Structure formats: C-alpha cells, structure tokens
Structure 1
Amino acid sequence: MSSATTFFDFEPVDKKGDPFPLSSLKGKVILAVNTASKCGFTPQFKGLESLYQSIQSKHPDSFTVLGFPCNQFGGQDPGSNDEIQSFCQVNYGVTFPVLGKTEVNGDNASPLWEWMKTEMPGIMGLKRVKWNFEKFLISADGKVVGRWASTTKPESLEETILKEIEKAKAGNKGGEQAKLS
C-alpha cells in the first residue's frame, strides 16, 4: 500500500489472521511496539500495560498500545498467535490489543512497518528495526511523531504521550469552533 499517507490507512492482521483496520483507531494516539514473549525485554509488557492503564484513566478512549508480535529477533516469539495472546494475558495482564504475528524487517516486512520506518528512520537514518520492543508513537492524525529503542522503558514515555493527546484535543477544539462559526 504505497499510497498510504497515515497509520490509519493500513490493515495488519489480528490474532485470527483477519484484517484489523487501523482506521477504527482514528483520533487516538497510538504506541506501536514489536513484541516478543521470550526476550530480555519481555517484562516491558508490564510497563506497557501500566502505561496504557494510567493514560486510559486520565484520557479514556484517547490512547492505545498496539502490540505486534515478531519472531525475527533471535526466534524469541515462536508461539502461535493464540499462545502469544495467552502468554501476554496470563503473565502480564495485558488488556491492550496484541495483533497477529508480523515481520518488521526484510522482504516479508509488513507494509505498515515499512511505512513507519520510512516516516521515522532510526539512528543514522537506518530504516530497520534493531530488536524487539522498539516503539513508534503515532499522533491522533496518523503521523509518526516518535521512535524509541528497545532499551527505553514504556513508563518513561507517559509525559510525551500525554502531550500528544493534549495537542490532539486542542486541535479538535479548534476544528469544532471553526464548524460552529
């Protein structure tokens, strides 16, 4: 989908292999993360869930985390989609959406991940994802506005995400006022 201009133009697959239209999340700030169940960074699921719950309590329906399981880094997410879902819920109480397994690099990389890497290249302009739990922040209008390495703890992003939500709310108020006048 080379004509895509926003995050919301894509339809990755859900845990059942069905299309998951990201357009259903339009207007929300999104933290997209490539996840793995058997990685040294796997405990970040707890931080991601805490971040998700904290922001949801302050701004219901304004933010979500989207997990994208990936087995490309050291074979650290070998399970089936059902096994991955169960692992996330049982071990970390994950309530945010975890979609179907995806590839983030290489010839079979998801078009969504290709687009995100192009929109916000990594250090020194590298377009590849370096490891599990790399994070992309998507604005409410579907633009990539941040990218962090695996070593960045999810909880440390709360202030940045809250600022992005405030920007979106301020933008919406302006739009509503324009419609009223």
Structure 2
Amino acid sequence: HEQYYLSYCEYATLLLGNKDEAIEVVDDLFTHLAINWARLMGTESPMAKAWAMLKIVVTAHLDAYERQRAVAETALFRKALDRARDEFEIMESTIGLYTAIAGLSGRLFDVVVLRYVLGYPNQRIAAIMAIEETTVRTHLYQARRKLARDLGIDRHHQIDPS
C-alpha cells in the first residue's frame, strides 16, 4: 500500500478524469488485495497481478458508467504533456497527441502514461508494472515509434530513450 497507493491513484485519476472516483476505486482494490493477501502472495508475480487488477477495476468502473478513458480531458494530462511536447515534436495540435496516446494499447499506453504524463523514472515504472527496466525501455521505444508514425513525425529523428 505504501509503495504503490499514490501511483495507482494518479494512474486511475488520469483514466477516470476524477480524483475522488479514482481514490474510491483504488481504495476498493487495496481492500480486496488485503482480504485476499495470501492468495495474491501465492501468485507467480504479485505486483504484476496487482497492476493487472488495477487496470481491470478501472476499466470495469468506466464500463459501468458507459464512459471512455478520460486521459485527454484530464487537466493533469494536459499539464504533463506541455512538459513533454518538445520531446514528441508536436507543432500545432496537442489533440492529435492526446488521441494518439489514448490509442496506444496495453503496456505501451501504460509506460507512456507513467513515464511522460506522471513523470516516473523507468526504474519506478518497472517496479509498478512488475516488469524489467529493459522491458520498460523497449515499450517506450515502441510507443514513441508508433506515436511518431501516427502523428506523421520523421521516423529518423531520435528521441532520448531514457
């Protein structure tokens, strides 16, 4: 709880677009994890399982209210993208970047949100997602390539992979 609660809340807030809802969803998840602690610890990768469960409960919450991910509308996302805009070479329309990031799937979406939106270093992302740091770098590389393709940015331009 101490290690991941804040990160989980920030991630959920981005997707839900509402901090209070995010806290409620994450609190419910951590309550469930506490009740089922022995079973969680018996899994091959408890942290990966907890991360997967976070994604499931956030998606279920969105589905229950017939909503889409709120990433593009979240003020925190806009603020963070202002910091990352130069890195992605966005010239005029940040809406294109919002849409492109929202269109990333699975782990590519997660690493971009955790790295560029929430500002976590690769080592922290690896811990949160329970994957190797090299895998984080690989996912970031793949995500940047896909975003560049989707946004029509010169493929040969190199972006710092850190």
Answer yes or no: same fold by TM over 0.5: no
Relative to total residues, which structure has the larger helix share, 1 or 2?
2
Relative to total residues, which structure has the larger strand share, 1 or 2?
1
What is the TM-score when the length of structure 2 is the normalising length? 0.30
What is the TM-score when the length of structure 1 is the normalising length? 0.28
Q: Which has the higher contact order (CA 8 A, sep 6+)?
A: 1
